[in-house]
Structure 1
Amino acid sequence: MARKPVARDAVLDAFEELLIDVGERAATLDAVARRAGVSKGGLLYHFPNKEALITATLERLDRLAGEDLAAMADAKEGAAAYFIRSSLWSDTPMDRSFVAATRLAEVAHEEARRRFAAIQQHWLDLIGKDVGTAMAKAVLYMGDGLYFNAMWESGPSGNPGNRREDVEELLAAVERLRG
């Protein structure tokens, strides 16, 4: 009988899920191993401690944010419109990684906060090239507000269709900012 392989990504996914579902304190190594369906020894083979899991989670966030920033830079509609359109929960790896890392930042994990600040600055730089630096924060706050209001209203499993009209209204505002 073939054994289920111990996959590094499965362990990271389990840690991410626990961060989202129950927060950093409850995301213990034992809980991660259980959620991933691996032995604690299997987990420790890939991640010798919780800090190593956190580091890998933040590296994943950086990689996914880099991919998202590249897509934003290449968006035909412009960086500002891309940012607004992508500010609804769609259960993407980036969404899950972002919320999991937010849980780390909530408990004053300085490296998580530093990485968020860097990502935010990259967003601002790209949006600023599109609508001007004076309006970039307005667009950033529009997208953040859209994202967090949708989360408060319905959580990650909510229906983003309820916010499509909001997205269109914000995109119209972005066009006025460009004007």
Structure 2
Amino acid sequence: MITLDGQAARVLTAYVDLVVEKGLGGATLEALAGRAGLSKSGTLHHFASMRALRVALFAELRAQARRDAERLREAPEGPVRYYLVSSLDRDSELERLIEAAYRIAQTGDEAALEVLRACRTDWIDALVAATGDPALARMVLLVGDGVNHNALMSTGADDELLATSHVEELVQALDAMRAGSPQG
């Protein structure tokens, strides 16, 4: 859930959606005002510039990624399972924020890259704490990235490569690796 309230949340959500759907070039003030259902001046009342919107997007992403890393640490189903199953979800608000930040990073925006790296650090730190094994934590992170990438290309519930049951097989394989590791 976006941490802003009211119309500011609506404007930020509209901005994220436009960046994801049309890229940074398609996220114009006119398009944003139309998507948010406000006038241009009403939009600028909440965010003084498009740069201010980018900054708000990055702040929102950091807040949500921190919250997600905390959920990962506390997940009753286990941090590895949580991370991999959540990697299947392409439509969550967090995934949309990540995707928007990636789109912005592709333009060479160093701030976008910095926030994405900071989010990755949150997740890897939580995975290292959970597994006790930095190599296994990196493997979980990279497998989750692969799951997420393939979820984007998924044809739906009958996808022969990706299903929750397949993720369960990955969790079991990673658990077996952990049990066999000298640190596990």
TM over 0.5: yes
2:13 paired residue number: 13
Moved more, 72-81 or 9-18: 72-81
C-alpha separation in 2, matches of 1:165 and 1:134: 24
> Secondary structure of 2:76's match?
coil
Aligned AA for 1:63? A
C-alpha separation in 1, matches of 2:135 and 2:89: 27
Aligned AA for 1:25? G
Alignment deviations for residues 108-135 of structure 1 (CA, whole Å, 9 cap, x no partner): 2111110111111111111112221121
Deviation at 1:90, TM superposition (A): 5.0
Aligned AA for 2:121? Q
C-alpha separation in 2, matches of 1:145 and 1:74: 23
Question: What TM-score, normalized to structure 2?
Answer: 0.86
> Secondary structure of 1:82's match?
helix
2:82 paired residue number: 82
2:152 paired residue number: 151
Equivalenced residue count is: 171
> Secondary structure of 2:163's match?
helix
Contact 1:88/1:160, CA 8 A, preserved across alignment: no
Gaps of 5+ in 1: 1-5
2:44 paired residue number: 44
Question: What TM-score, normalized to structure 1?
Answer: 0.88
Alignment deviations for residues 15-55 of structure 1 (CA, whole Å, 9 cap, x no partner): 01101111111111111111111000001111111100000
1:159-174 correspondence runs (5 A): 159=157, 162-174=162-174
Amino-acid identity (%): 35
Q: 1:134 to 1:76 in 2, by over 3 A?
A: same
Aligned AA for 1:137? R
Contact 2:90/2:148, CA 8 A, preserved across alignment: no
Alignment deviations for residues 74-128 of structure 1 (CA, whole Å, 9 cap, x no partner): 1123322211111012522212212111211122211111011111111111111
Gaps of 5+ in 2: 1-5, 180-184
C-alpha separation in 2, matches of 1:66 and 1:126: 10
1:110 paired residue number: 110
Contact 1:90/1:160, CA 8 A, preserved across alignment: no
C-alpha separation in 2, matches of 1:106 and 1:61: 17
C-alpha separation in 2, matches of 1:163 and 1:29: 39
1:139 paired residue number: 140
2:182 paired residue number: none
C-alpha separation in 1, matches of 2:112 and 2:80: 24
Aligned AA for 1:85? V
1:71 paired residue number: 71
